[in-house]
Amino acid sequence: MTVANGYQLPDLILFVTSLLETGYNGDLVISLSDIKPETLAYFRYHKDRIILYDIGIRCRRFCQVDLYRDKNGSLLVDPRKKRQVAQLRFEIFWAWTQLYSSTTRVFFYRQSRCVFSSQPF
């Protein structure tokens, strides 16, 4: 699981490709904001291997994230005080882990020019 907001497509390709080439067969969960068409095309190509979240992070110096939805699926605006991106990242990770079994192994990573040479587990 990674929050990769602000990263360019070549860095994302390196991250994804190197992980998949290790034989990793688990979920690859990535969140981005303001996804560009070429980035979306790349992730659509790998749609059977990647779970992509387009989350709305609104930033200047401090940020808010619209992560939650009501029972009808409508986005709920975060009413809390703005926080630093690092804090939001952990909130996003926590929300994602709620979708998995308590026995699932989860690897959190702040993607930044990462290359895998072997599986993380």
| pLDDT class of 111 with cuts at 50, 70, 90 | low
**Helix orientation angle between 37-45 and 9-20, rounded to the nearest 10 degrees:** 10
Task: Check residue 50 and give its pLDDT.
Answer: 86
Q: Following DSSP, what letter does each residue of 15-26 receive, concatenated?
A: HHHHHHTTT--S
More confident residue, 21 or 80: 21
Mean pLDDT along residues 69-98: 78
C-alpha span between 45 and 85 (Å, rounded): 29
C-alpha span between 103 and 115 (Å, rounded): 26
Whether the per-residue pLDDT at 112 is higher than 70: the answer is no
Mean pLDDT along residues 40-48: 87
Burial of 51 (0-12, 13-18, 19+ CB in 10 A): middle
Task: Check residue 92 and give its pLDDT.
Answer: 79
Mean pLDDT rounded to a whole number for the chain: 80
| Nearest of 17, 13, 30, 48 to residue 93 by alpha carbon | 30
Task: Check residue 61 and give its pLDDT.
Answer: 73
pLDDT 10s digits, 15-24: 888 988 999 8
